[in-house]
Amino acid sequence: MTDDETPAATPEGPRTSALHAAELLCDTCGEETPHRILRVDGGSTPEPGRNFSGVARCSVCRTIHRFQLRASRAVRVTQVVSEGPRSVSGEQSLPAGRRLQVGSDVPGVRPPLRIQRIDRLDGRSVPEARAEEVATIWVTPDRGSVLKVSLVEGRRTRALRITMTPSQTLGVGDPIVADRMELVVSGLRANGHTWREPGDVFTAREIDRVYARRKERPPAGNSPWSRDRGIPEASASSTSRLARSRSSPGETTNRTSPRD
């Protein structure tokens, strides 16, 4: 079957991105990836809100495999939005089966909201749970991660800050702009360690501190620098050969008895 013969519909399901495509779990890749739906069982257009199965091709590894999608149903949870001293309580509709995690954003909500606490139906506070298990989520507006930047300038270190989205990545050697200065990341403090090798990359939510140097030449913090030196006009040595006065060593006295 060619792509042109692909059935032109999918139900409301796990993150369908088009009528002939969906993000499905790929056993080869080990995660959800974009797939091209090649065939739907039954040969007819699946009805919204119903389960369906078929054959799809992973767009990443190109593996063709069978799949089964279960129609998603929405669950409603109590959502408490805290902003400073104010808290506003309301409801949020979430797909059943969607995993919620403290420190992550509420899925599908704009502007983004960061989950700070999850209360299950049994009253327990947990770090993560599926949407149908949740009674209340406590959230705050996600305005990005504020990262502390240590700008190394020789013997002096200046404290700066930059703002990034929590999922944005930053690596050693990457350029950044802080306080209107172009800097280069020379190290990252993340996950309890300091990383300094090119290729060390982390998301903003994993980073505790950024170490940086100026981008212009010469880069601040490196020494010694080569400096222009004057050339003596005369060939004579610049070292003084004049006699130097020496202080008197003082009078010498003989000891009459040994020291204790």
DSSP string of 141-194, one letter each residue? E---EEEEEEEEETTEEEEEEEEE-TT-EEETT-EEEETTEEEEEEEEEETTEE
Q: Is the Cβ–Cβ distance between 92 and 75 less than 8 Å?
A: no
In the prediction, which pLDDT does 88 show?
92
**Cβ neighbours for 188, distance < 8 A, ≥ 6 positions apart:** 170, 171, 172, 194, 195, 196, 200, 202, 207, 209, 210, 211
In the prediction, which pLDDT does 6 show?
38
In the prediction, which pLDDT does 252 show?
52
> Pick the residue with more confidence: 185 or 27?
185
**Cβ neighbours for 8, distance < 8 A, ≥ 6 positions apart:** 19, 20, 45
Residue 136 reports pLDDT greater than 80: yes
Across 11-15, 28-32, 122-126, 236-240, the highest mean pLDDT is recorded for 122-126
pLDDT band at 43 (very low <50, low <70, confident <90, very high): low
Q: How far apart are CA 118 and CA 134, in angstroms?
A: 7
Per DSSP, the three-state class of 95 is: strand
> Pick the residue with more confidence: 78 or 251?
78
Q: Which residues pair with 31 in a beta bridge?
A: 26
pLDDT band at 238 (very low <50, low <70, confident <90, very high): very low
> Pick the residue with more confidence: 254 or 181?
181
